[in-house]
Structure 1
Amino acid sequence: MSRPLSAGRGLLYLLLSAASWGTAGAAAALLYGSSGLGPVALTFWRSAGGSALLLVALAVRRRGPAGRPSSRPRTPHARRDIAVNGLGLTLFQIAYFEAVHGTGLAVGTVVTLGAAPVLVALGARLLLREPLGAAGAAAVLGALAGLAVLLLGGTSGGATAVRAGGVAWALLSAAGYACITLYGRRSSARAAGRTDALTTTLHSFLVCAVLLLPFAAAEGLWPNPHGLGRTLLVLLYLAAVPTALGYALYFTGVTVVRATTAAVIALIEPVSATALAVTTLGEHLSLATAAGSAVLLLAVTALAITETRLAVRSRGAVQAAELIAGR
């Protein structure tokens, strides 16, 4: 029998998933210039490629020891979870790419990930009855302050353009992220379904790919033949690391970590994207960007410490109750 996932490992999974997501923007930037793929087609290939890789992973796992969870959703609860996650994932991804197209990468990313913790915190308080607490509120405010510094600091090449239409798409993307975060946390309380993270991720991306296929076909589904090998390599990376692996880690970690904490940890994404731009793309790190990234990291660290303390306290209370019951 496998051991339940600890809060510490859940935090690590969320940190790794957020860091992997930060590389997706760089991969997309490489593809937009030469592949001829638009945002909808790129999201479709990301979802379809991730689904194919997850199918292979599940097929390999079924050859292993017995007792693995089934890859088929056998209960109404499991099917509903997959539908909600798939719809939320589609909204999150496509609205984000539209936000980047409408108001630029910097503003689109900052607004999306800045609004997400606020929406998740409000939703967790109203729907899940999760107490935010003074430490959690301070961490959320600190994260938003860091994002504000990043936004006001602009880009190294000049002023950042903020357009209302793009901001509206970014807020819609944040709503999609809040949906899958809150629902994932809520559905983890139920034992029915017994679908694991790989299965949840697979079916969610299958829903996303099916929904986007007609729109991707209308936009232009196939990449340019020139530089096709490079395009396929980048698409493979996009499907494997920030999609199949990143979301599998995310759907695993969110089941044991508070929803608000999961949302703020996702703010690592713009930090990792900034670090990647500096180290590999030759962009210069401005003082505002460095300061905003530092505040974000401090906020995430504070939330991680708070989450660990809460988990230790909760585990201690459970052990004490078991000792009392055993007497």
Structure 2
Amino acid sequence: MIPVLAVLAAAVLFGTTGTAQALGPGDTTPLSVGVARLVIGGTALAAIGLGIGRRQRARQSAPPRLTRRAFALMAVTGVCLAAYQPLFFLGTERSGVAVGTVIALGSAPVLAGLLEWAMTRRLPSRVWMTATALATVGVAVLAISGGGAGGADPLGIVGSLGAGAAFAVFANAQRRLMDDGWDPFTVAGAMGAGSAICGALALLFVDLGWLASPGGLTVALWLGLATIAVAYTLFTWGLQRLTAATAATLTLAEPLTAGMLGVLLLGETLTGGAVIGILVLAAGLVLLAVFSRQPRDPAPYAAEA
């Protein structure tokens, strides 16, 4: 029961990301918010993940070696998590928290599966193909619904899909690291360290003056500590003790949280087309979650936002 609650709590924390950014100071930008989140959250996640991972490796009879391949894969996870931030916030800023989050999360497992298919040449299952078709139709309906209140903005869709693609790449990189014997906490810690370095390099190119405004620092700390450091630690711990299907189902709490917060706290309204698109996309995710039993199914990574 505790692992279930850990993953569920992580998904809920992930789901607050877009709303926290929207409630922040008005002079923020997707890039500046993403950079602040990376520096704070990535540093904390690196300290937690690498610390726990060091103890886990000490108990291994033959711990993995840091080869060039492993270092490259770890670097990829950090860079992709860094790229995810401004793309995700661009999507929620232009299309709204509910729609932007659903597109990003709905596309992530689909794109992860397509990438794995291209890399392994393993033909996906019929269930995966059906779920992918539903998710694709859902995103298309959201796009056709157009901009405005509750609609999907074209640039916002690009941002959300870009965030989903970034997830697809680092999910596959993480999977290969764990296949090579690396424990999940070390993998998560390395991702945090790499993303923090990317964020630090971007500090010279963003205006973080909003941190000094009322609520600015609070938003940055919440986004960094709660939605990255704490959430990823809970998710990593719980994922080690749950089946892929169970974890995938629990992660659906993230878009649900984002949608509810968007409507209740931000006053967002959804057009009829947006509601239909979200329902179709959600149907694809539920199908993928319920019937995904293979250990290499991309669905468990859908919620790592």
TMscore range, shorter length: 0.7 to 0.9
> In the alignment, does 2:38 pair up with 1:47?
yes
1:83 deviates by: 0.9
Corresponding residue for residue 226 of structure 2: 241
Cα distance change on mapping 1:12 and 1:257 into 2, 3 Å:
farther
The percent of aligned pairs where both chains have the same amino acid is 27
> In the alignment, does 2:177 pair up with 1:177?
no
Give the Cα separation in 2 of the matches to 1:132 and 1:152: 28
Give the Cα separation in 1 of the matches to 2:283 and 2:152: 25
CA-to-partner distance for each residue in 1:249-291, whole Å, 9 max, x for gaps? Answer: 55664998779x96x9877644431111123333345444444
Give the Cα separation in 1 of the matches to 2:270 and 2:161: 26
Structure 1 residue aligned with 2:212, among 194, 208, 225?
225
Corresponding residue for residue 140 of structure 1: 132
Task: Give the match's secondary structure for 1:180.
Answer: helix
TM-score by length of 1: 0.69
User: CA contact under 8 A between 1:78 and 1:195: conserved in structure 2?
Assistant: no
Cα distance change on mapping 1:235 and 1:162 into 2, 3 Å:
same
Task: Give the match's secondary structure for 1:49.
Answer: helix
Task: Give the match's secondary structure for 1:90.
Answer: helix
Give the Cα separation in 1 of the matches to 2:103 and 2:279: 18
Structure 2 residue aligned with 1:68, among 35, 56, 77?
56
1:128 deviates by: 3.0
1:1-327 pair list within 5 angstroms: 17-33=10-26, 36-54=27-45, 57=48, 68-69=56-57, 75-76=66-67, 77-99=69-91, 103-105=94-96, 109=101, 112-154=104-146, 157=149, 160-163=152-155, 168-191=158-181, 194-197=182-185, 199-227=186-214, 230-248=215-233, 253=239, 269-308=254-293, 310=294
Q: Which amino acid aligns with 1:297?
A: A
Unaligned runs of 5+ in 2: 296-305
User: CA contact under 8 A between 1:128 and 1:186: conserved in structure 2?
Assistant: no
Higher alpha-carbon Rg: 1
Q: Which amino acid aligns with 1:126?
A: A
Give the Cα separation in 2 of the matches to 1:52 and 1:236: 12
Corresponding residue for residue 5 of structure 1: none
TM-score by length of 2: 0.73
User: CA contact under 8 A between 1:53 and 1:240: conserved in structure 2?
Assistant: yes
Task: Give the match's secondary structure for 2:210.
Answer: coil
1:46 deviates by: 0.9
1:112 deviates by: 4.1
Q: How many residues align?
A: 285
User: CA contact under 8 A between 2:35 and 2:85: conserved in structure 1?
Assistant: no
Give the Cα separation in 2 of the matches to 1:59 and 1:132: 34
CA-to-partner distance for each residue in 1:167-217, whole Å, 9 max, x for gaps? Answer: 5554443332211111222222212xx3432x3323322222222324333
Task: Give the match's secondary structure for 1:31.
Answer: coil
User: CA contact under 8 A between 1:188 and 1:255: conserved in structure 2?
Assistant: no
User: CA contact under 8 A between 2:46 and 2:191: conserved in structure 1?
Assistant: no
Corresponding residue for residue 317 of structure 1: none
User: CA contact under 8 A between 1:40 and 1:94: conserved in structure 2?
Assistant: yes
Cα distance change on mapping 1:151 and 1:167 into 2, 3 Å:
closer
- CA RMSD in angstroms comes to 4.0
Unaligned runs of 5+ in 1: 1-8, 312-327
1:25 deviates by: 0.7
